[in-house]
Structure 1
Amino acid sequence: MNLKPLYNTLEEHLGPQNWMQIETWAQTPFQVIWSAILIQNANSNNAGAAAVDLLAATNNDPQVIRQLTIEQLATIIQRAGLYKTKAGYIKAAADWLATYQDDPQKIEQLSREQLQNQLLAVKGIGNETADDILLYGFRKPVFIVDAYAKRQFKWLGLTMPTKYRPFQKVVENDWQLNWQQAQELHALIDTFGKQIKNQLQWNESFMGDFKLTE
């Protein structure tokens, strides 16, 4: 579906939303990987605090992370919650990075499909986490089907697939957005989603009369 009208309308009313400036964790590929794991089942403040702690302790160096025990890493990231589980996931991601000699440029050369499949094979990385990493870490245009997107597409009156990948496939069919616009759209949807919590608020907002065809 052509998402340019949705993109343009949200940007017109909300202004540009550069997620990599809004979220301090989205500055390097390694930061994105760790933080996409840390934010699982956590609020952004706690995940961000844990990301800062991890940066201070390891300089986001995968080699340093690989040398830590699960217990040591869990202590560092405890502010994110579920810290022992997430420590295992971060270690698994660091091990995966070792297969590319910890070189983000080598990883970025992979196709979207190759990288997506490899990320999904890493313990603890599911669809949304993988796509966060694709979009913000490795410059792959992808539509992230998060809770905000699901709600807003429902309020738009669209009947979408319930599963992640089929939903994404419908949206990305001729969606006409490049990598930077895909980042921006995700930021716009999430920013608006934090302001608009229900159908009534949606109806009364500037999006109340907006229509998007499949």
Structure 2
Amino acid sequence: MFLHTLFILSLLLGSSHALDFCVADLSLPPGPAGYPCKKSASVTVNDFVFSGLAAAGNTTNIIKAAVTPGFDAQFPGVNGLGLSMARLDMAVDGVIPLHTHPGGSEILVVTQGTICAGFISSFENTVYVKQLNKGDVMVFPQGLLHFQINSGDGVATAFVTFSSPNPGLQITTFALFKNDLPTETVNAVTFLDVAQIKKLKGVLGGTN
């Protein structure tokens, strides 16, 4: 019995390094639980450091905003740890349209400018909206539709933390108008005018 216990203990001690973390092996495809673990011998300090949020994102696009992710695919050290980050840059009149993160909750802290942010609860579709200034923090519960709008007269910047290494993203506008979902189907489920639907599909690259 003693020898058996000693053997189990030696296995646990020998594998304690692997249990500390699971750095993503980006050479392998991810699964539902994230990326497979990189071999311990290949792990370096650089796996736990990410510099991608230092530079502003390109806001010359239709929404005048950019999100720079620091998820497991970009930041291998967060794999399996239940957290990640992103940077949000918004030009004047920039907007992050209604969207949801099915895999995690979000906390946003404004570091520059003014951002109008809000979310819609699943209970009676109650809306929670707030004007956020530098230093303000707002939380968006997992899976709920939410948005951010640059409501100031200059650029706005925020940093976001998620309760998942890969929270996922679905933008409602793109889901409806940036694919091949038939116009008549979109009309039936949204009550929008057919002409308006076709216009939005044309702008966003959808078909049918």
Give the TM-score normalised by structure 1: 0.23
Higher alpha-carbon Rg? 2
Structure having the larger proportion of residues in strand? 2
Structure having the larger proportion of residues in helix? 1
Give the TM-score normalised by structure 2: 0.24
Q: Quick one: higher RCO (CA 8 Å, sep 6+), 1 or 2?
A: 1
